[in-house]
């Protein structure tokens, strides 16, 4: 809300649009009863929020996490509306979540929860209405169960109802790596515009989920020096650069980096303070806050996660001259390839991985250029510029459509 107000005021956004953006279009809360492996019944609480649908169907992921809350899902749905507008995809924004701890659930329990949750939200989702995708703790398998459940109720295979699916049932090549790849394209473009050499720069990546792990591999592949990585158990730091293949191999058997012998260990809450040129928070919200923003040593922050920088931290970073490429631009690669997946599903015609990556690069670099140039022209930070670009598009759509009735 604070971000929206700041940008709305700066660009003198019509109060009609600003007011509309403050309120999600639809909020659905569902009870998800699940038969657990021990025979008991547990009822989980789930949400699906469609924030805005003025520019097209709603789009956004599904999160499974103990800390999911209605407020969190609202903020995430709002950011999806902004993200799709910044990269100019013909979508509005949505988000869903279930309060649960997937790490403590069996595969069977997860499948039953996913299927019942999908059935409960099936009254508002659909390929022309609202298209879920993976987010924190959901993956291709979860999307396959969602696609299957929805398809069973409509009576035919309906791949376009979710994105981030396995290739065998209408998924897209390149989707799994897309968010990390987008983060890389944005950072490379930033380096070109700011005049620093990415191959001589040090990069630290917080988060080892889909975004962080793929970003780490892609940066390393392109010769960047990854000096730090972190998962929920803690971080690793080596100023000479980590041997990522070795770390990943180690992590495969233990599911965490803790105990890795060939690097310095950094506690989770100190990770954003390690020395590096580019810091990529790719874990959860609020990892950079008022408490640590003045200890960040990076010159640039590229937000792989949604909302990793609190509003207060943003002001501190700006004062310190640390440039932030905002989430709604930096991590938009995921939803961009989700859009490609949906287009391919609707046409039942599939593209090559090279074509997907080239189109992804084109969209991400184009959006970055627009935001970067606007930030320079208006003398604002990139978050403000991204909001201006996104809100400009949404504002036009809202006012052309007018208000019903």
We find the least distance from the C-beta atom of residue 87 to ligand GLU, in angstroms, to be: 10
What residues from 332 to 361 belong to the interface with ligand GLU (CB under 6 A)? Answer: 334-335, 338
We find the least distance from the C-beta atom of residue 350 to ligand GLU, in angstroms, to be: 18
Segment interacting with ligand GLU, rule: CB under 6 A, options 58-66, 105-113, 198-206, 266-274 = 58-66
* Nearest-angstrom CA–CA distance, 241 and 228: 8
Catalytic residue among 74, 83, 95, 225: 95
We find the least distance from the C-beta atom of residue 367 to ligand GLU, in angstroms, to be: 14
The answer to whether residue 302 forms part of the interface with ligand GLU (CB under 6 A) is no
* Nearest-angstrom CA–CA distance, 398 and 316: 34
> 175-194 vs 353-378: helix axis angle to the nearest 10?
40
We find the least distance from the C-beta atom of residue 60 to ligand GLU, in angstroms, to be: 5
With respect to ligand GLU, which residue has the nearer C-beta, 61 or 234?
Answer: 61
Look up residue 161 and give its DSSP letter: G
What residues from 160 to 179 belong to the interface with ligand GLU (CB under 6 A)? Answer: 163
Binder among 46, 60, 174, 228 for ligand GLU (CB under 6 A):
60
* Nearest-angstrom CA–CA distance, 216 and 205: 7
Q: Which pair of tokens denotes residue 353?
A: 């991985």
The answer to whether residue 127 forms part of the interface with ligand GLU (CB under 6 A) is no
Determine how many CB atoms are found less than 10 A away from the CB of residue 66.
11
Residue whose beta carbon is closest to ligand GLU: 61
Determine how many CB atoms are found less than 10 A away from the CB of residue 355.
13
Segment interacting with ligand GLU, rule: CB under 6 A, options 5-13, 42-50, 55-63, 392-400 = 55-63
* Nearest-angstrom CA–CA distance, 280 and 324: 10
* Nearest-angstrom CA–CA distance, 36 and 32: 12
We find the least distance from the C-beta atom of residue 335 to ligand GLU, in angstroms, to be: 4
> What is the bridge-based pairing of β-strands 130-134 and 58-65?
parallel
CA angle 337, 333, 199 (to 5 degrees): 130
- Conformational region of residue 27, where left means phi above 0, alpha means psi within -120 to 50, and beta covers everything else: beta
Binder among 133, 190, 301, 302 for ligand GLU (CB under 6 A):
133
Binder among 81, 206, 306, 323 for ligand GLU (CB under 6 A):
306
| Residue 95 bears catalytic tag | yes
Backbone angles phi, psi at 152, to 5 degrees: -65, -40
The answer to whether residue 159 forms part of the interface with ligand GLU (CB under 6 A) is no
Q: Which pair of tokens denotes residue 69?
A: 């809350």
Segment interacting with ligand GLU, rule: CB under 6 A, options 47-55, 271-279, 330-338, 346-354 = 330-338
The answer to whether residue 284 forms part of the interface with ligand GLU (CB under 6 A) is no
The answer to whether residue 50 forms part of the interface with ligand GLU (CB under 6 A) is no
Task: Return the SS3 of 180.
Answer: helix
With respect to ligand GLU, which residue has the nearer C-beta, 86 or 133?
Answer: 133
Maximum CA extent, the chain: 65
Segment interacting with ligand GLU, rule: CB under 6 A, options 19-27, 57-65, 116-124, 214-222 = 57-65
Give the closest residue to 335 by CA, choosing from 65, 82, 50, 159: 82
The answer to whether residue 135 forms part of the interface with ligand GLU (CB under 6 A) is yes
We find the least distance from the C-beta atom of residue 139 to ligand GLU, in angstroms, to be: 11
With respect to ligand GLU, which residue has the nearer C-beta, 228 or 308?
Answer: 308
> 2-10 vs 15-22: helix axis angle to the nearest 10?
170
We find the least distance from the C-beta atom of residue 137 to ligand GLU, in angstroms, to be: 11
Which residues in 174-204 are b (16+ Cβ under 10 Å) and which e?
bbbbbbbbbbbbbbbbbbeeeeeebeebbbb
Segment interacting with ligand GLU, rule: CB under 6 A, options 258-266, 311-319, 329-337, 389-397 = 329-337
Q: Which residues bind ligand GLU (CB under 6 A)?
A: 59-61, 133, 135, 163, 306, 331, 334-335, 338
The residues assigned a catalytic role are: 95
């Amino acid at each position: 809300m604070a971000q929206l107000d700041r940008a709305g005021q700066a660009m003198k956004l019509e109060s009609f649009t600003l007011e509309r953006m403050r309120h999600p279009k639809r909020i659905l809360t569902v009870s998800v009863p699940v038969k657990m492996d021990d025979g008991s019944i547990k009822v989980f609480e789930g949400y699906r929020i469609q924030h805005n649908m003025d520019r097209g169907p709603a789009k956004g992921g599904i999160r499974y996490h103990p800390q999911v809350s209605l407020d969190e899902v609202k903020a995430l749905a709002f950011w999806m509306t902004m993200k799709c507008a910044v990269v100019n995809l013909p979508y509005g924004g949505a988000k869903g979540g279930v309060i649960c701890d997937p790490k403590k659930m069996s595969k069977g329990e997860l499948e039953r929860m996913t299927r019942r949750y999908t059935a409960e939200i099936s009254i508002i989702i659909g390929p022309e209405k609202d298209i879920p995708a993976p987010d924190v703790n959901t993956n291709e398998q979860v999307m396959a169960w969602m696609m299957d459940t929805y398809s069973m109720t409509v009576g035919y295979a309906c791949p376009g109802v979710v994105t981030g699916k396995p290739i065998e049932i209408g998924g897209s090549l390149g989707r799994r790596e897309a968010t990390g790849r987008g983060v890389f394209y944005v950072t490379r473009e930033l380096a070109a515009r700011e005049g620093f050499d990415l191959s001589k720069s040090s990069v630290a990546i917080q988060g080892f989920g889909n975004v962080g792990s793929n970003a780490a591999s892609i940066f390393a592949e392109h010769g960047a020096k990854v000096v730090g990585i972190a998962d929920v158990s803690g971080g690793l730091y080596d100023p000479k650069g980590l041997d990522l293949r070795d770390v990943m191999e180690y992590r495969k058997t233990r599911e965490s980096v803790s105990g890795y012998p060939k690097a310095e260990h950094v506690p989770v809450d100190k990770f954003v303070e390690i020395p590096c040129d580019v810091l990529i928070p790719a874990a959860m919200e609020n990892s950079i806050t008022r408490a640590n923003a003045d200890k960040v040593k990076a010159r640039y922050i590229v937000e792989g996660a949604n909302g990793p920088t609190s509003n207060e931290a943003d002001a501190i970073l700006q004062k310190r001259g640390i440039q932030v490429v905002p989430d709604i631009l930096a991590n938009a690669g995921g939803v961009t390839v989700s859009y490609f997946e949906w287009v391919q599903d609707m046409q039942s015609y599939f593209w090559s991985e090279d074509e997907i990556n080239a189109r992804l690069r084109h969209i991400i670099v184009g959006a970055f250029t627009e935001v970067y140039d606007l930030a320079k022209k208006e003398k604002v930070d990139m978050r403000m510029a991204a909001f201006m670009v996104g809100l400009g598009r949404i504002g036009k759509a809202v006012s052309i459509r007018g208000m019903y009735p």
